[in-house]
Amino acid sequence: MLEFEYFGLKFCLVSSRYSSALTRNSGTLRLNNSTAIFYYEAILITTSVSGNYTIQSNSTIDSYGYLYLNSFNANDMITNILAIDDDSGENGQFLISYTLQANGRYIVIMTTYFQNITAPFSIIVTGPAIVSMNYSETTSTTSSTTSTTSSTTSMATQSTTSSTTSTTSSTTSMATQSTTSSTTSMTTTSTTSSTTSMTTQSTTRSTTSKF
């Protein structure tokens, strides 16, 4: 805790620390549509006390920092941005001063000035109260689009299958009707022939008896 006096009034500042590391498994940024890869980590900051806070990196690398309100999308680095800094801190560290609101959601992006750099780092936030800092998952627009496309394809396939089944049933029904008609016709012909034959035989026998 830091104490200082201003116009006879005493103020206290407290510091909160978050430690992690940029690795090959960290998220990646591609700035200005370039092919260069910059590893990054997103940290969610919340506080219960409004006031001016400083957010500073501490590492052995040349760091680069961004501050966002509510959320961060790696595919859209302009939306929700509040501040950017490179070397305002000592030894190539970023330092951002900003008035945070109680119960607000702020996202700090820790990344590097040079591409393909990995290293341990800490984020130190100093202000009128302790803040909460936690690793934050970031939004991916690409994933969401792929999921929607997949769902549409599935529905189209289902519709085609139903149509095919309906056609097959209709064809089978027609074939059954045709077979029934044919069988009935054959049965009628057979009955008629049989009746004719019996009538002829009867007539012949009757004639013979009269003579």
| pLDDT digit string (tens) for the chain, length 211 residues | 555 555 565 668 999 999 999 999 999 998 877 889 999 999 999 999 999 999 999 999 999 999 999 999 999 999 999 999 999 999 999 999 999 999 999 999 999 999 999 999 999 999 999 999 999 987 544 333 333 333 333 444 444 444 444 444 444 444 444 444 444 344 333 433 444 344 334 433 343 333 3
Q: What phi and psi values does residue 157 have, to the nearest 5 degrees?
A: -65, -40
> pLDDT value at position 7?
54
User: What's the predicted TM-score (pTM) here?
Assistant: 0.63
- The enclosing H or E element of 28 equals strand 27-29
Specify whether the CB–CB gap between 65 and 57 falls below 8 A. yes
What's the half-sphere exposure (Cβ side, CA atoms, 13 Å) at 203?
6
Going by the DSSP 8-state scheme, the letter that residue 87 receives in this structure is: S
> pLDDT value at position 128?
96
Q: Is the dihedral of CA 201, 202, 208, 209 positive or negative?
A: positive
> pLDDT value at position 124?
98
**Any idea which residue has 């591409």 for tokens?**
115
Specify whether the CB–CB gap between 40 and 98 falls below 8 A. no
**Cα-based torsion angle of the residue sequence 20, 21, 26, 32 in order, rounded to the nearest 10 degrees:** 110
Q: How far is CA 209 from the centre of its chain?
A: 100
How many Å apart are CA 148 and CA 129, to the nearest integer? Answer: 43
Structure-token pair, residue 96 = 């951002």
Minimal CA–CA distance to 14: which of 45, 53, 67, 40?
53
> pLDDT value at position 143?
34
Considering the domain 2-139 in this protein, what is its CATH number? Answer: 2.60.120.380
